[in-house]
């Protein structure tokens, strides 16, 4: 089983959700469909993808405040 490919597919599908909480719930439900032995690796790869996609030093609130003041 190629865990990396499955995690990429799950994360790509979850990005289509309108909010972050819905995307998180989608990822949890998608991982729960796999056998218990595989869930650990899928969650690890999903966490790595999520961390890699985060922009360092910019939170959504700071970005909002910067755009509001212009």
Give the pLDDT mean for 45-54.
84
In this predicted model, what pLDDT tens digit does every residue of 32-49 receive, in sequence order? 999 999 999 999 999 988
Quick one: which of 19, 43, 18 has its CA closest to 30?
43
Residues 42/3, Cβ–Cβ less than 8 Å: yes
pLDDT at residue number 19? 86
Better-scored residue on pLDDT, 69 or 31: 31
63 has a pLDDT exceeding 60 = no
In this predicted model, what pLDDT tens digit does every residue of 2-21 receive, in sequence order? 999 999 999 999 989 888 88
Angle, helices 3-14/36-53, rounded to nearest 10 degrees: 60
């Amino acid at each position: 089983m190629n865990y990396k490919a499955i995690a990429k597919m799950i994360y790509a599908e979850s990005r289509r959700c309108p909010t972050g909480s819905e995307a998180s719930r989608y990822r949890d439900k998608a991982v729960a469909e796999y056998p218990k032995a595989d869930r650990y690796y899928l969650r690890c790869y999903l966490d790595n993808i999520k961390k890699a996609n985060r922009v360092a030093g910019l939170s959504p609130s700071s970005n909002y405040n910067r755009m509001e003041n212009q």
